[in-house]
């Protein structure tokens, strides 16, 4: 009997892990709220710091919301593999015989559902706060829907690399922010184009391309990073 048969198929391992992670997150509901509250607080600081002029706020809204989303993602990312690493579960995953790539992908999907999706759902409120024109509100939500999974995927590589460090969080932001530059540029450009009444589908297409590329490549890199960190 092979390991594969002993511990079920790859698909069932993926969903079992996904279910477990979601359950764990649900049991610690307060922690789920941290990135959301963080996003709210950061965005609300901007009108206080810059002034409540509606036109200025509308102009900087896409950038502010997206940068706040980047920060919120990086803050929540640190927990992606942390507890599994500390209690040794991650090593058991490696020994389980299932591809580490698949395990990483399951954890990333769970992370996005817990930390990324709430940001997307919250973004209309933020857009209204920031006085974003109502026509571009949908585009804002759409860019976040397409973009935040990319943030989780690319971020997982950085988390895998820094997991063995005691204070990896600060280093993590240094590692992943430069890699987030293209997403930030494309996503904010899409929203600005929509605000100006220009066509924006090309930008969304680029985001989709980025999502597909990172879904196919990032889990492999994250798995390689985890293997190095566990060695």
Partner 1 sequence: MNTNVTTMNKEKARKNWLVMFIHKMGSPPWFYNFAGKLIPWLWAIFIGLTVWGLYLGLFKAPADYQQGESFRIMYLHVPAAWMSMMIYTSMAIMGFIALVWRIRIMEILAMCSAPVGAAFTIIALASGSLWGRPTWGTYWVWDARLTSELVLLFLYLGVIGLYNSIDEPRKAARAACLLAMVGAVNLPIIHYSVKWWNTLHQGSSISVTGGSNIDPSMLWPLLIMAVAVKFYYGANLLTRARVKLLEQDKRKGWVKNLVKEHKS
Report in angstroms how near the CB of residue 218 gets to partner 1 at its nearest: 9
Number of Cβ within 10 Å of residue 12's Cβ equals 11
Tell me the number of residues near partner 1 by CB under 8 A.
24
Report in angstroms how near the CB of residue 54 gets to partner 1 at its nearest: 22
Q: Which is nearer to partner 1, 18 or 56 (CB)?
A: 56
Q: Is residue 78 a contact partner of residue 168, using CB atoms and an 8 Å limit?
A: yes
Q: Is residue 84 a contact partner of residue 210, using CB atoms and an 8 Å limit?
A: no
Buried b (16+ CB within 10 A) or exposed e, 84-97: bbeeeebeebeeee
Report in angstroms how near the CB of residue 48 gets to partner 1 at its nearest: 26
The residues in 131-190 that bind partner 1, with binding defined as CB under 8 A, are 157-158, 161-162, 164-165, 171, 174-175, 177-179, 181-182, 185-186, 189
Report in angstroms how near the CB of residue 181 gets to partner 1 at its nearest: 5
Q: Say what angle helices 117-129 and 137-162 make with each other, to 10 degrees.
A: 130
Of 58, 65, 60, the residue nearest 143 (C-alpha): 65
Binding site for partner 1 (CB under 8 A): 157-158, 161-162, 164-165, 171, 174-175, 177-179, 181-182, 185-186, 189, 217, 221, 224-225, 228-229, 231
């Amino acid at each position: 009997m092979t390991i594969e048969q002993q511990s079920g198929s790859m698909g069932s391992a993926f969903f079992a892990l996904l279910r477990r992670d979601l359950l764990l997150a649900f049991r610690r509901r307060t922690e789920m709220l941290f990135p959301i509250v963080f996003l709210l607080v950061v965005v609300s600081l901007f009108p206080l710091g810059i002034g409540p002029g509606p036109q200025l706020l509308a102009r900087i809204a896409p950038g502010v919301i997206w940068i706040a989303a980047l920060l919120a993602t990086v803050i929540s990312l640190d927990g992606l593999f942390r507890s599994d690493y500390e209690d040794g579960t991650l090593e058991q995953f490696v020994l389980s015989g299932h591809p580490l790539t698949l395990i990483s992908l399951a954890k990333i999907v769970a992370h996005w559902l817990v930390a990324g999706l709430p940001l997307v759902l919250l973004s209309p409120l933020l857009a209204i706060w920031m006085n974003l024109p109502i026509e571009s509100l949908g585009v804002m939500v759409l860019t976040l829907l397409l973009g935040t999974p990319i943030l989780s995927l690319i971020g997982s590589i950085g988390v895998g690399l820094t997991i063995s460090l005691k204070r990896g969080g600060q280093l993590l932001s240094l590692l992943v922010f430069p890699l987030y530059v293209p997403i930030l540029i494309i996503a904010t450009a899409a929203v600005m184009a929509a605000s100006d009444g220009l066509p924006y589908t090309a930008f969304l297409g680029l985001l989709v391309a980025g999502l597909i590329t990172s879904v196919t490549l990032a889990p492999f890199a994250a798995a390689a990073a985890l293997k190095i960190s566990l060695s």
